[in-house]
Chains A and B, each alone.
Chain A
Amino acid sequence: GAGVSQSPSNKVTEKGKDVELRCDPISGHTALYWYRQSLGQGLEFLIYFQGNSAPDKSGLPSDRFSAERTGGSVSTLTIQRTQQEDSAVYLCASSPRTSGGEDEQFFGPGTRLTVL
């Protein structure tokens, strides 16, 4: 079946603008995750969704970052008033279950965000 998809694949924006990044998880996967991959910081966890709720938002770097998930499926990560340090690849992952921690996470191809 289809894997995790993300759009856009690339996004170039100007400092101060808002951006929305989209993730379509694997159908039926209850858990959804956002991570960020940047040169200086490696792969960092941002937020975890269990269905439509987010019990762990501990990785969101500032209040400019927010995310939502609707219908237990699609998720949108929004970055307001983008800064140059937000430039990174944003990765989305999904997994079948929401408890246990043992499930493999299936990753999407990522969205490369460049803030000029």
Chain B
Amino acid sequence: AQKVTQAQTEISVVEKEDVTLDCVYETRDTTYYLFWYKQPPSGELVFLIRRNSFDEQNEISGRYSWNFQKSTSSFNFTITASQVVDSAVYFCALSEMNYGGATNKLIFGTGTLLAVQP
């Protein structure tokens, strides 16, 4: 069965600290996609990144970086030099490749609440 686990319920850091949000997934499929979304206090989910299962290259975008390791079924997210504006709930999600469009649903983890203190 598909499952996404975000074991960290809440993390609190002080501004400028680095923080890593963990994501572990389970799937029987060999082709799948992983996503990270941010949900700020305003409530709207904002897309951050997508990764497909064939691309294990790490990615860096400004202060954000992602580490995808198929061997450990993990897709961790690191924020470098955190800022107060990074405070939000972060969700990791899984979508399996489907042929014929039977479904494209996202399976979400339970989210990690990140609080960055000034």
Contact = CB atoms under 8 A, between A and B. Distances in A.
Main secondary structure of the interface of A (DSSP, over half): strand
A65 interface: no
A25 interface: no
A100 interface: yes
B62 interface: no
B34 to A, nearest CB: 10
Nearest to B50: A104
B72 to A, nearest CB: 22
Nearest to B100: A99
Contact of A104 (B35, B43, B44): B35
Nearest to A103: B104
B9 to A, nearest CB: 11
Main secondary structure of the interface of B (DSSP, over half): loop
B107 interface: yes
B108 interface: yes
Interface in A24-45: 31, 33, 35, 42-45
Nearest to B37: A107
Contact of A107 (B44, B50, B95): B44
B96 A106 contact: no
Interface string A90-109: 01010100111111111111
A33 B91 contact: no
A56 interface: yes
Given A100-B97, A104-B50, A106-B47, A43 B108 contact: yes
Given A56-B102, A109-B42, 8 more contacts: A35-B108, A42-B110, A48-B105, A58-B103, A101-B103, A104-B50, A105-B104, A107-B37
25 contacts: A33-B104, A42-B108, A42-B110, A42-B111, A43-B111, A45-B106, A48-B103, A55-B101, A58-B103, A89-B43, A91-B45, A99-B99, A99-B104, A100-B104, A101-B96, A101-B103, A102-B50, A102-B95, A102-B97, A104-B35, A104-B47, A105-B104, A107-B37, A109-B42, A110-B43
Q: Which 5 A-B pairs have the closest CB atoms?
A: A99-B101, A56-B103, A107-B45, A43-B108, A45-B105
